[in-house]
Chains A and B, each alone.
Chain A
Amino acid sequence: MFKSIMLISVLISTPLFAADGKLLATPGVSQVEGSGGGGIVPWAQLAGYASQDEIAANAFCSQSQLSDFRLRSCGAQLNLYDRVELSIAKQNFRINALDTSIEQNIVGVKTRLYGDLVYSKWPMLSLGMQYKHLNDTAIAQALGAKDTTGIDWYLAASKLHLGAIAGYNLFWNVTARRTDANEMGILGFGGSNRDIRLQWEASTAIFFSRELAVGIEYRQKPDNLGLKEDDWSDVFVAWLPNKSVSITAAWLDLGTIAGVKDQKGPYFSMTGYF
């Protein structure tokens, strides 16, 4: 079903939409759960170049190559009139040592509550939801997760300050997420330690040109399973040469995952805008 949705959205979108009503690079890229954002943090911007009179469709794939794991995530977003973002993502998390993979599907909705990234006086504000469904539940259950599906709610604020630092444009985002997901849901939801709680996430970047941004992200994580789950962070370079494509490279530091320490490595992501 996932593949057919992707295919249909790509086929339909190409001739019909081709939204380009936003300024270059201002929508950001695609984060690993499918929402418009950075790499690991959902931002307030809705994915794609749709202005309030347009519809945009985008598709993306990313790969995170960690020391002992590999995460692949592919998905798509539909931006309706810069008011609502619908997203889907399929994640495949490979555990090298066990020669096995965990799959998770995520459906997301985000709505813009206030503002514009560039023009409004106050930061742009959006409310989002990610419904996560784990397809491979054995490992999550073995580790003591309470559920194999979960819902994250988040409130994100973003702003681009024109010429703010020695003339360069400065971007920042802060996201508050209400979640009980373990490692984003890959290891299930909830556990013996704790349940749903609020986590903080943040990103900032400087645009060295219209096309090139360099930044960092931070994502606080709960430790419901008592496996010393660490906060995530990354340093990224995003290249958005035109309104059709973006390419992001990052260095991830995801700390301890499922009790395995020092999970670091490169991340690559590409989004196509239709």
Chain B
Amino acid sequence: MFKLIQKLATTLCLLFLLVGCAATSQTPQSTLYDRLGGETGVDTIVSGLIKQIGQDKQIFHYFADTHITRFRTQLTQHLCAITDGPCKYTGDNMTDIHTGMKITEKDFNHLVDLLINAMNLQGIPHRMQNQLIARLAPLRANIIYI
């Protein structure tokens, strides 16, 4: 058991070192919102995602009755707020929005895939994508199967 812990610890340290070297320096004070490119960056993510959804067969039907302009405004505001940007989300809560839609786990993950596609097309680095997804992941509990 001791050997196990020792070996794990050593290798973890090596991995951390490796990652540390690979990581470029980030200004610690800057918010994720800033790093994503601020207002322009977040607008582009939202536009990219809307475009992805518009071309998608699997989950487009959830958005068939969506008022796109309102959706764009609310999502942009939500992303701004959730990434510590200078906004306050004033839209409805996730549960109210998604109740009755019966969104499956599979379709939720498909939306994540579309978001990743949009961010890839925009050239947002992998590590920054993960940080945004990490902020959004806790919302899932109030979105699926309701």
**Footprint of B on A, CB under 8 Å?**
20-24, 51-54, 82, 118-119, 121, 162-169, 200, 202, 204, 206, 208-210, 214, 216, 218, 220, 231, 233, 235
Contact = CB atoms under 8 A, between A and B. Distances in A.
Interface in B95-146: 104-106, 109-110, 112-113, 116, 125-128, 130-131, 133-134, 137-138, 140-141
A168 B112 contact: no
A167 B128 contact: yes
A167 B110 CA distance: 22
A218 B15 contact: no
B19 interface: yes
B23 interface: yes
Contact of B19 (A166, A216, A231): A166
B109 A22 contact: yes
A95 B113 CA distance: 46
Contacts of A209: 126
Contacts of B16: 165
A40 B62 CA distance: 42
A163 B131 contact: yes
Contact of A210 (B8, B116, B137): B116
A52 to B, nearest CB: 5
Contacts of A168: 19, 126-127, 130
Contacts of A169: 130
Interface in B17-73: 19-20, 22-23
Nearest to B7: A218
Contact of A119 (B4, B130, B141): B141
Contacts of B133: 162-163
Given A53-B104, A162-B134, A206-B19, A231 B109 contact: no
> In this complex, which of A54, A166, A167, A235 has the most chain B Cβ atoms within 10 angstroms of its Cβ?
A167
Contacts of A118: 137
Contacts of A52: 104-105
A20 B59 CA distance: 14
B105 A210 contact: no
21 contacts: A21-B106, A51-B104, A51-B105, A118-B137, A119-B137, A119-B140, A162-B131, A165-B15, A166-B19, A167-B125, A167-B126, A167-B127, A167-B130, A167-B131, A200-B1, A202-B4, A204-B8, A210-B126, A231-B3, A231-B4, A235-B11
Contacts of B113: 23-24
A53 to B, nearest CB: 5
B109 A21 contact: yes
| A-B residue pairs, 9 tightest by C-beta | A167-B127, A21-B106, A163-B130, A166-B23, A162-B134, A51-B106, A163-B131, A51-B105, A163-B134
B105 A220 contact: no
A218 B134 CA distance: 28
A208 B22 CA distance: 10
Contact of B23 (A53, A54, A162, A167): A167
